[in-house]
Amino acid sequence: MKNTQETLSPRLAQAVRASPLGGELLDCSGSVPLHEASIATFFGALRPGAIHYFVPAVPVASELGLPAYDPLLFWVPDGIAVSREALLARPFAPARLQRETGAPLCRIEGVSLEEQEHYFVDHYGAICPLPRQVSVVVANACNLSCLMCPYHGKESRRKHTRDYFATPRFMDRDVLFAVADQIGALGLPVKMGNIEEPLLHPDLAAFVARARGAGSPGAHVTTNGTMLTASRADALLDAGLTSLYVSIDAAMPETYARIRGGGLAKVEAHVRGFLEKAAKRSPRCTVMVSFVQNDGVDPQEVERFAEKWLPLTDGVIFYNVATYAGGSARFASIHDIAQRKVRDHGKRWPCLNPWQEVYLQPDGGVLYCCETLSRLAYMPLASMGNFLETPLPDIWLGETFGSLRRALLRNSLGAWPACDTCGIWMAHVSATEETEQGKVVRNMITEIRYPS
C-alpha cells in the first residue's frame, strides 16, 4: 500500500507498511489525531475492489443529526482512478463520488466508546467549535398563566419548590446588548421565548437589531401574541426578525379562554396583522402557529385550527400535552416513531442538545437544553459557565460541557439530575410524510404540518 502524503503518524505509517493490499491511502485527519482503535478498525476492514473511508460516529445520535466529521481516512485500491480533489470535495457526498468513479464505496465507522469520547469530547472543537444556536432567556416572566404551563400556570406555580419564577426579572439592557455583540460576532443564530413572554422585554427589538447588525444570521421569537401589536410588529420586522412562532392553542374562543385566558380574536388579529406586514416587508420571515393538545380539547377543533392557519402561515405545530412532576416533562402520548427507535436500539442514546445549543440566562448562567429550564423551579442546576466572565466559545469547549458530553456517551448521568430523569431525550427522532395537503413532520411529541 502507498500513501499520498510525505509524512504519516508512526502508527499509521506502520499500518500502511503492514498491509498486503495494493492501493493508496489518504490521511485527511488534519489536526485531529487518529485514535489507535480507529486505525485498527479501518485497516482490519479493508477489502479489494472498493473505495473505503473512515468516519467517527455515535450510534443513533449521528443518524439523528449530531455534528458530523468528514472522512478522516480514504483508501483507494489499485485499478480505481480517482483524484485527490474528488476525495476532498466538500461537503462530502458519497453518492456523487460513487457516480464519478463507478466504484463501490465502503463506509467504516469508529463507534467504540473510547473513539466516541476521543472524537466527540476531547476533539469536538474540530467539527463544532461553536454552538449551532443560542437561546437567550430575556426574562423569567409572562403575562399569561396558561393551564398547562410548567413555569407560569397557577397549578404548576403552587408546586414549585424554588422561587425562581416568583419575582419577575429581566436581562439588563447592557447585558442584553453585550450578548448581541458576542453572538453577532460569532455569526450565531439566536432565539427568544423559552420560559418567558419575550415581548415583555422593552429592549427586545433593539436586541434583535443589534444582533443581526453584528452578524447574526437569524433571529427567532416565540410569543403568545397578546402583545404583538402593529407597532411591535413593525419594530421586530425593522430589526431583522427572521422567524416568529405564535402559541395559540385554540380555534374557538371558549377553548382559548379556558386554556389561556383572554380573548382569541385579539390574538388572531395580531397574527394576521403581522402576516400582512411580513408579506410586504420581509417575505422570508417564517411565521408559524402552534396548538398544545390539552386534555378535553375536541379533535375536531385541532383540525379546524389547521384548516384556519395552514393556508396563511408557513406551518402549524401540534404539541402533545405534558405533565411536569418536579420539572421533568412526561407525555401521555409519545409518537410511535420514537418508541420504535428505542425498541430497535435497546438502550438510551445521547441526547443531541448539549452538542448543539446553549441557553443564556439573565444572571450570566449557561444551560444546555429546554428541559433544564423547567427544572429551575424545583432544583438548583450547575451552570456550564458564566458568559459575563468567559467567552462563549471557551464555555462551549470547556471542561464542564466536556464532562456532560462524556457522561451522556457513557450513559452515566448521576451527576446530571436534569439529564438522568429526562423524559424527552429521544425527541430528535423524526419521520416525514408527504400528503395531498403538504408535508408532515412528526417527532416524539410534535406534529408539524407544512402547506403544499
Q: What is the residue whose three cell numbers read 427522532? A: 429
Q: Which residues pair with 55 in a beta bridge?
A: 109
* Ranges of residues in the chain whose predicted pLDDT is under 50: 1
Cβ 393 vs Cβ 186: under 8 Å: yes
Expressed in angstroms, the distance from the first to the final Cα of the chain is 53
Confidence at residue 269, expressed as pLDDT on a 0 to 100 scale: 98
Please calculate the CA angle 307-446-225 and round it to the nearest 5 degrees: 60
C-alpha cell recorded at residue 427: 425527541
Confidence at residue 2, expressed as pLDDT on a 0 to 100 scale: 52
Q: What is d(CA 188, CA 133) in angstroms, rounded to the nearest whole number?
A: 6
Burial track 113-133 (b if 16+ CB lie within 10 A, e otherwise): eebbbbbbbebbeebbebbeb
Query: Nearest to residue 164, comparing CAs of 133, 188, 196?
Result: 196
Query: Nearest to residue 19, comparing CAs of 34, 36, 2, 4?
Result: 2
The amino acid at residue 307 is: E
Q: Model confidence over 339-350: pLDDT tens digits? A: 889 889 989 999
Q: How much is the mean pLDDT over the chain?
A: 94
Confidence at residue 277, expressed as pLDDT on a 0 to 100 scale: 98
Q: What are phi and psi of 360, to 5 degrees?
A: -100, 125
Query: Nearest to residue 136, comparing CAs of 185, 172, 164, 165?
Result: 172
